[in-house]
Structure 1
């Protein structure tokens, strides 16, 4: 973590996990880290390893990607955007060191340098119905469309969705921007508030608890723009393509509410009566819900979803209540 930003957050104390329904929140994204890929071969290097078309990524565009095992299991979910001399990759901080090491093994003679950029840029999320208005009031740019970014001094503002933005600034600049957002009306909140926004957007984050648990289609990754089926080979491509064109996806990701006193952990097993004590899926991401309990993204058998009764942690554990995603499932 980084100096001025770290000191600023220490002075803030513990930020609330739950906020009022409909609030626009400003959230320190301490759960995320950044890998920088720099050099003239950055695009082809990443293109050959990741699930999306890096070669066609526009200068002001951002896109979702995955890095997979040869068997198509996701090791990381990534948000990638271009810089003047390369790319930045945002991912879960708990898997960053291992992923950086693994990606570095592929560099060989490529003219590219990979590094942990988490100390060079700090991240904050802004989410809610007034995001564009409050960013502008704080003197920050508002990218015109989702998956676009705009320069902000020595950093960027990346628009992930209609109402979700990431502010990436040097650690000595982000505290002032965060305070300006709060002064404009954003409610400072803990990481659960950002996770809730991404859960409601149906955007999963692979963490250490769920590495290698899912192929792309289980996380709806082809539905949210995370996979190109026109590009060439990359690790796991054959499995992802075969699943898309020849196979039937037996598991999908759903949004759920869990009425529980304590948060279930990502990776927690799910159970359905027809399968007794055999797991039918896992939780992906979990966040405190404004009305109480927790909202989550859950990957499970589509047949169990159709049957309707699913429990977390044990066959008699808390029940899942299914909620809508903002996109249709096949």
Structure 2
């Protein structure tokens, strides 16, 4: 298959440097930052104290800093949040204006790092002279086909638990690292198996229903539609109501559970 490359203008970078950069981020984020090596890419999040998703992000180990890959329209809010947590930590937190690229569909070009969520998503690169031959819409269509949600679009801030957005299945939470903001609720949900809803891709005929449109199992609410495109979307679905005939706006709906989602999850 031919590798395709797109520039992701919906994403932006934050550079976190200084002698306390790793311990500072390690105590905040769902991902292990202390063991992040140069050139390595990890997926994680910053949660609210009650454990809801505030910011999805990638962490890239730079030569002299940790670089965060975040939603562009949320970068300023994350900069403010990190400044609030900074206190006396010896860190510098600043915007990084290099572009972000995604590659998928074939071998990764030089300079790209594998996406840590699932190999099917390809990889990412930061900065450099990269020739894009696809659009961000092409990349989003591929992501949706793989069945991976986009938390920045599908999970309004402080409304969704990270496990509902499949962070536990996409290498977005290190349950062995110890404390992080929102850790108690997140670990309890995983430990007790109290996972009632998850984001899963759905297929249907016609245009995408409006965000929040009800998915029904007969007369029972089975979930709601999130972002999508004609014929396909992500939906937040109740796992106990997936059996049976599902509909949205009167149209039949098919749940397309990705291979990376275990049957019992």
Report Cα offsets for 1:51-94 as digits up to 9, x if no partner: 11111222232111011111211011111111122211112112
Deviations 1:15-62 (A, max 9, x none): xxxxxxx76432121111111111111111111111111112222321
1:200 paired with 2:145, answer yes
What is the DSSP-based 3-state SS (H/G/I as helix, E as strand, rest coil) of the residue aligned with 2:22?
helix
Would you say the 8 A contact 2:51–2:181 is kept in 1?
Answer: yes
Do the aligned residues in 2 keep the contact of 1:92 with 1:205 (CA within 8 Å)? no
Match of 1:236 in 2: 182
Q: Name the CA distance, whole Å, in 1 between partners of 2:156 and 2:222.
A: 15
- Structure in which a larger fraction of residues adopt helix: 1
Match of 1:68 among 28, 47, 65: 47
The alignment partner of 1:56 has SS state of coil
The alpha carbon displacement at 1:205 in A equals 2.3
Matches within 5 A, 1:184-223: 188-207=133-152, 210-223=156-169
Deviations 1:269-302 (Å, cap 9, x if unpaired)? 33314555x672341x42x4xxxx2433222111
Question: CA distance change for structure 1 residues 253 and 55 in 2, over 3 Å: closer, same or farther?
Answer: same
What is the root-mean-square deviation in Å for CA atoms of aligned residues?
Answer: 2.5
Report the Cα offset of residue 318 of structure 1: 4.4
Are residue 125 (structure 1) and residue 83 (structure 2) matched? no
Give 2:71's aligned residue: 92
Specify every segment of 5 or more residues in structure 2 that has no aligned partner in the other structure, as ranges: none
Q: Encode CA deviations 1:135-192: one digit per residue, 9 max, x unaligned.
A: 2xxxx3465x654xxxxxxxxxxx973551222115xx3xxx316xxxxxxxx33222
CA contact (8 A) 2:49 2:181 kept: yes
1:37–1:87 contact (8 Å) kept in structure 2: yes
**Aligned equivalents of 2:122, 2:52: Cα separation in 1:** 27
The alignment of Structure 1 onto Structure 2 pairs a total of residues equal to 262
13, 16, 24: which one pairs with 1:34? 13
After TM superposition, the score normalised by the length of structure 1 is: 0.71
Contact 1:65 1:79 in 2 (8 A): yes
Flag the 1:26–1:304 CA change in 2: closer, same or farther, 3 A: same
The 8 Å contact of residues 202 and 326 in structure 1, kept in 2 or not, is answered as no
Which residue does the alignment assign to 2:234? 297
CA distance in 2, matches of 1:264, 1:116: 36
Cα distance change on mapping 1:87 and 1:160 into 2, 3 Å: farther
Q: Structure 1 unaligned runs (5+)?
A: 1-21, 148-158, 180-187
2:256 counterpart of 1:323: yes
Report the 3-state secondary structure (helix = DSSP H, G, I; strand = E; otherwise coil) of the residue aligned with 1:227. coil
TM-score between the two structures when normalised by the length of structure 2: 0.87
After superposition, the Cα gap between the structure-2 partners of 1:63 and 1:246, relative to the gap in structure 1 and judged at 3 Å, is same
Query: 1:151 maps to what in 2?
Result: none
Partner of 2:172: 226
1:271 paired to 2:204: no
Instruction: Answer yes or no: is 1:167 the counterpart of 2:144.
Output: no
* Aligned partner of residue 43 in structure 2, secondary structure: strand
